[in-house]
Structure 1
């Protein structure tokens, strides 16, 4: 099993939205590196759900990858802000996964706490200039994040 971090702005899609819906497509990713990470995900992988562009930002829960290698439907919808006119149904450019709710943390693991406990080499999220919305998390780092959640 692999671990990932998925960022979302809570006013766009929050952990509470996922809890209510139970599953969702992680659509609208328009960065090639993040797309490649989505394509590398496997069914059963776990992802930390991170609220970004909020005060404070941080990890608020956990979700599981339920389905992989799904052509992102938003790329084909001219009404979508994620529409890509260079993409076609027979040659999609953007891929996604379906994730399911696992857990909402009782207390957020804030970015400040993550900075205190991890180095930028351990956690890509902490690297200067990193704006990826999808990133891998090494299993040892994931274990330490899970331990942080348990200690809160």
Structure 2
């Protein structure tokens, strides 16, 4: 947003208010994109992380860690006191700070590791028996032979 020397203060204030309203609307639209549902959805692909904006990723991680009412808890863990900063992020009035997003990722990784230690990671389950390739080939050849005999 640029201003010129000929701009009246009322015009400048109106443009600033309009820009603020656009940022807030954009932030609300991102937040309403159901980031948790997007993050948990099976999109196929190669198993990489979903494509989320920083606000969507932050919201999804926070909701997974703290539940539906996560604002104050995540603000406290990030050292932001009463949650005003996080509410500003959610409303679109400010951008999620990259350092705070990185810190929340670290918290999530630590909790995931703790949960994995507690419930296991399936590495201790017995392996499935290997399939016998000779048996599979014999069944296949028997099926082919039966098919040829039926065609006769």
Taking structure 2 as the reference length, the TM-score comes to 0.30
Larger radius of gyration: 2
Taking structure 1 as the reference length, the TM-score comes to 0.30
Which has a greater percent of helix? 2
The one of the two structures with greater contact order (alpha-carbon pairs below 8 A, sep at least 6) is: 1
